[in-house]
Amino acid sequence: MDSHIPSPPTRRLSTGERENAIDRTIPLFPPAVEIDEHNYFDNNDPPEYLESMISGVQEFVKFHINNRVVLVTSGGTTVPLENQTVRFIDNFSAGTRGATSAEYFLENGYAVIFLHRQFSLLPYSRHYSHSTNCFLDFMEEKNGKVVVDPKYQEEMLSVLRKYQAAKDKNLLLLLPFTTINQYLHTLRALSVTLQPLRSRALFYLAAAVSDFFVPLHRIPEHKIQSKAGGNKLLMNLDPVPKFLHRLVEKWAPGAMIISFKLETDSSILLSKARQALERYSHQLVIGNLLQTRKTEVVFVEPDAPAHWIRLTPGQEAAGVDIESLIIPAIVKRHTVWIKESGNSA
């Protein structure tokens, strides 16, 4: 054995002790109330582009005033650690759930506002843009020109037609976010803008939203420096206010609201989903586990037993999207919601 190999550092690195991890048994933060809303939005500036983004949304809502419109949120929010951001904390989500769901909502006659993490997967282009699905692999050279490989012609034509139809009929509005602050400001402004649609508006909140953040007044302007001696970086994060109840009660009264609950421990999924439903008083929580999210989800709604939606092994092997089962089940519920509210469409 080589006696010159230095012994592993023992003091400077975290030992990863379990007692330092976030305790998942502690009760959830209380839902945000009016004062929390003021505190957050008065002290964390809106993104500069928000006004012009919202005027685009107003046009879209006017255009679809008699149609069903779904707001799909997708991808993870970031928490910047510096104002001129080099480092940030991220939330897991590739955007597959959101992008795939948006396609099935379009197929079911909805206009879609797609509020997504910038550079995450988008409806239609998702089929060809992921690193495991590079668009170049679908191309070939023929007589000095780039053409689609005949093997993929049929599939690509079908995707292209749906994409073009969504564009031509002005059915898809893409709005990006990156940080938790951009997401929250945009979500609030959007919700208010969708109010004229009343119960025809559907919120499908699939984005993975940060639970902790650094408030504006504590974010350093420049890149955090590491010092000689390898000091630890201690982070002091505030809880992100839970605005879902404000959304249900104040920002989007009358709309149907669906949130997602992601867990990794199957023994707590159902209770966490039920807890969220009771706390925020919305219409549906869709629970999913990180490990199985592409093959099973559970619907948790008021006064009903939990309802699992699962792909059969045959559907899984055939590459069926679970969203092709989720969205029709939601459309049915939304139809009832609209009828019961006395609205049409």
Residues that bind ligand PAZ (CB under 6 A): 93-97, 206, 208-209, 260-262, 288, 293
Q: How far is the CB of 272 from ligand PAZ (least distance, A)?
A: 9
* 143 vs 294: CA distance, rounded Å: 41
CA distance 322 to 148: 28
Residue 78 vs 199, nearer CB to ligand PAZ: 78
Find the shortest distance in angstroms from Cβ 90 to ligand PAZ.
12
- Smallest gap, in angstroms, from Cβ of residue 17 to ligand PAZ? 26
Nearer to ligand PAZ, 64 or 261 (CB): 261
Name which of 181 and 199 has its Cβ closer to ligand PAZ. 181
**Please, which residue, 151 or 307, has the CB nearer to ligand PAZ?**
307
The encoded tokens of residue 169 equal: 């009929």
Decide whether 75 or 80 has the Cβ nearer to ligand PAZ: 75
Task: Give the helix ranges, DSSP H, for the chain.
Answer: 34-43, 50-63, 96-107, 126-129, 153-168, 180-193, 244-246, 266-280, 313-317, 323-341
> In Å, how far are 24, 210, 236 from 19, measured between CA atoms?
11, 22, 18
Q: Hey, which residues does 73 pair with through a beta bridge?
A: 115, 205
Structure tokens given for 118? 């910038």
Other C-beta atoms lying within 10 Å of the C-beta of residue 130:
14
- Least separation in angstroms between residue 293's CB and ligand PAZ is 5
Pick 55 or 292: Cβ nearer ligand PAZ = 292
Describe the strand order of the beta sheet including 201-205 as a list of residue ranges: 172-177, 111-117, 69-74, 201-205, 256-263, 284-289, 296-300, 307-310
Q: Which is nearer to ligand PAZ, 293 or 333 (CB)?
A: 293
Closest distance between ligand PAZ and the C-beta of residue 262, in Å?
Answer: 3
- Give min distance, CB of 36 to ligand PAZ, in A: 19
Minimal distance in Å, beta carbon 77 to ligand PAZ?
9
- Closer of 60 and 114 to ligand PAZ (Cβ): 114
Angstrom CA distances, 298 to 71, 99, 140, 307, stand at 21, 19, 42, 5
Please give the C-alpha separations between residue 50 and each of 75, 175, 195, 256, 279, in angstroms, as whole numbers: 19, 10, 18, 24, 29
> How far are the Cα atoms of 121, 189, 205, 209, 336 from residue 88, in angstroms, in the given order?
20, 25, 22, 14, 42
Shortest reach from residue 48's CB to ligand PAZ, in Å: 27
Residue 261 bridge partners (DSSP): 287
